[in-house]
Amino acid sequence: MTENATAAAPAEKPRMHQKYLADVVPSLRRDFNYANPMQVPRVAKVTVNVGVGEAISNAKALDATVRDVGIITGQKPVIKKARKSIAQFKLREGNAVGVMVTLRGTRMWEFLDRLMNAALPRTRDFHGVPSRFDGRGNFTLGLHEQLIFPEINYDQVDKARGLEVSIVTTARTDQEGRRLLELLGMPFQREGDNIPTLARPTPTRRRR
């Protein structure tokens, strides 16, 4: 009976999900006077995109990107293919042009935790991320390199590649979306700062 009870016990929620339930939800209800708990914004999904145009002539580049994104997100990426041919770029319909991952649930919360608390603080000369919302409470962040994620082994990286991270929320406005992510720990730039891009990290090579 004990073994069955142990097997049936629900898994512990990720740390950031616990923070959302315990701290963020009450704060948002106070800030925006939500009458119904169901009105409180939440993170619905996170997508990670990486363009790999060089894969047209270098198949290894696609393999390396799939590997890196899989390590960073903990999920196998989907390979994006060209929908039509473009002669001047030597691009044919069906060619692989990038990879994408859509995260929900536990993996989403764990990725956000690593992004905000491990990856972004490793960025050199970091002064916060720009507040780039789409008018509907969704946030997009561009990263110069995958190397800011501590899971990536610098010595195994063939090339630094940029990532686009999109955080989709249920917020009705950008103000609500920003406050949600701010309470979760997203280090936004201070009002009035004008820092257009994130500086690149300074990875340390391992001694051989």
C-alpha closest to that of 103 among 120, 78, 68, 129: 78
**pLDDT in the model for residue 165:** 95
For the segment 55-69, what is each residue's pLDDT rounded down to a tens digit?
555 667 778 888 889
Residue 88 in this model has a pLDDT that exceeds 60: no
**Which of the four pLDDT bands, split at 50, 70 and 90, describes residue 197?**
very low
Q: Domain coordinates of the chain in residue numbers?
A: 38-184
C-alpha closest to that of 105 among 15, 17, 10: 17
Residue 34 in this model has a pLDDT that exceeds 90: yes
Between these two residues, 154 and 25, which has the higher pLDDT value?
25
C-alpha closest to that of 133 among 173, 180, 183: 173
**pLDDT in the model for residue 106:** 96
Residue 179 in this model has a pLDDT that exceeds 70: yes
Between these two residues, 193 and 186, which has the higher pLDDT value?
186
**pLDDT in the model for residue 159:** 77
**Which of the four pLDDT bands, split at 50, 70 and 90, describes residue 200?**
very low
For the segment 35-53, what is each residue's pLDDT rounded down to a tens digit?
888 999 999 999 999 877 6
**pLDDT in the model for residue 94:** 53
Q: Which fold has domain 38-184?
A: 50s Ribosomal Protein L5; Chain: A, (3.30.1440)
C-alpha closest to that of 201 among 120, 118, 128: 120
CA 117 to chain centre: 12
**Which of the four pLDDT bands, split at 50, 70 and 90, describes residue 91?**
very low
**pLDDT in the model for residue 171:** 96
Between these two residues, 196 and 140, which has the higher pLDDT value?
140
Instruction: Report phi then psi at 137, rounded to 5.
Output: 85, 10
Q: What is the pTM of this model?
A: 0.80
- In whole angstroms, what is the distance from residue 208 CA to residue 205 CA? 9
**pLDDT in the model for residue 203:** 45
